[in-house]
Amino acid sequence: MTVRESVLDAIGYTPLVRLRRLGEGLRPTIYAKLEFQNIGGSVKDRAALSMIRAAEQEGLLSPGGTVVEGTSGNTGIGLALVAAHLGYRSVVFAPAATATEKIRLLRAYGAEVHLVGDYVPRSHPGHLANRAAAFAAGTPGAWLARQYDNPANPAAHEASTGPEIWRDTAGGITHFVASVGTGGTISGTAKFLKKASSGAVQVVAADPDHSVYGGGDGGAKYVEGAGHALHPESLEDVWPEAFDTVLVDRYIRITDRDSILTARRAAREEGLLIGGTSGTALAAALRLAEELDESHTVVVIIPDSGRNYLSTYFDDEWLTSAGFSDPAEPALSVGSLLPGPAAGVPILPAGLTVGEAIQELVRRGADCSLPAFLALDRGTSFGAVHPREVSAAVTLRSLAAAVESNPRAAFSPAAQQGEPFASVGIGTAVADLAQHPGQLLAVLVDGRIAATARQPFAGPDRSQEPAASRGII
């Protein structure tokens, strides 16, 4: 039995596990490096320990000090557990959308958690990175981890993750796959593997479909911890200093749907309960393996466990509500109320005035009573958007009524005329719509708004009436 002198010594040395069922029919050997077996449950334990030790050595963190960071969860958990063991206070600023399980873990380790509305420009004072920096600056003895720009982040993986993979594959690895968040894991590991193999190991970055890293539009996503979202009002697109893009040979873009469903497959086919970011990396590894032969060995990083996402990715109700699952009874689902695939949901720039919005909706021939969505402007007039990017739902009827009652309203922001709306997955049962009487509905397919509707009824089941009589498109 291996004996460790402290929990900090239990960080690292994670196993490689061959994927036999998921890899069935694929020619290369595929190994998953199970980083959720770190003591804090994720790959971020390595970076957390490395950054705190470096701060101590540099005199930036002293006994009685406070560890501060803005994080989507896993780095915060790693910092909190290391801080707890070493006697430091920990304060974490996390996005409000962070999985409930992660927030509870942070608090279990004694961290003080501040939830922040995260989808604002990087320059906004309310951005979680700026909130964390302001708190650290105003707190005596505080040290800000700055995981995105801290060289001790990738250094942890150059010193441990890379050597472990090289040793455990006996130098046989040919392809390394990892997701990119801060860039520390992929950069540090790749740096070692490139050097050890004289450049032969190919490094593949698995990236959420909307992430800017792999060429996406920077839109909001459902997979926590991976990718790079970009608020369209950002003054500049700042990439992490911890991410060395030169080391990446290729990006493979993975949709939220493929990430989530691959994570679920891993649990049910391999007995591996993994998170959404792990699903992103695994989906990319499997796609890559389709191109390779028996001479190749693929190693994919599995950053964390699915235990952190039991209320989301592994919850059937959540999956349905976000539009990621097919309906159990198609004839009784929201999808059955739609005449066909949406030709284009009216998406308008959030900054339009009432008058401008009216002109645009008239030009598009919009239905008077059905909603258009005022959303962050990514340069498209139509398209599917994440509900988090929507500032308001308006109708041509309500906008026109506002101008009729007060002509000066034409020059006011259209968002001021917004109505409450609810998001429902396309597989949601019609019977469940009774909880939204008269409300505007955003119908989600794979997490994004693909159709619009209004729910005018409550009480008796009217699911057999013609769709037109129910005011649903």
Query: Known catalytic residues?
Result: 44
Q: Could you say which DSSP state residue 148 is in? A: T
Strands of 5-95 (E only): list them: 16-18, 29-34, 66-70, 89-95
Tokens read off for 400: 């026109």
Q: Which of 182, 206, 181, 201 is nearest to 191 (CA)?
A: 201
C-beta of residue 252 within 8 angstroms of C-beta of residue 263: no
Strand order in the sheet with 29-34: 16-18, 29-34, 297-302, 175-179, 202-208, 250-254
Q: Which amino acid is at 403?
A: V
Tokens read off for 204: 């593949």
Dihedrals φ, ψ of 16, to 5°?
-100, 135
Which whole-number Å values give the CA distances from 108 to 112, 115, 162, 419, in the listed order? 10, 16, 31, 39
Q: Which amino acid is at 232?
A: P
Encode burial over 192-202: b for 16+ CB neighbours within 10 A, e otherwise: bbbebbeeebb
Q: Where are the alpha helices (DSSP H) in 58-161?
A: 74-86, 100-108, 128-137, 152-156
Rounded Cα–Cα distance for residues 330 and 328 (Å): 6
Which whole-number Å values give the CA distances from 239 to 47, 236, 299, 320, 440, in the listed order? 18, 10, 25, 34, 38
Q: Which of 341, 333, 417 is nearest to 382 (CA)?
A: 341
Which residues, 6 or more positions from 419, have their beta carbon under 8 angstroms from its beta carbon? Answer: 371, 392, 393, 394, 395, 398, 440
Four-residue CA torsion sign, 160, 166, 170, 175: positive
Tokens read off for 323: 């539009």
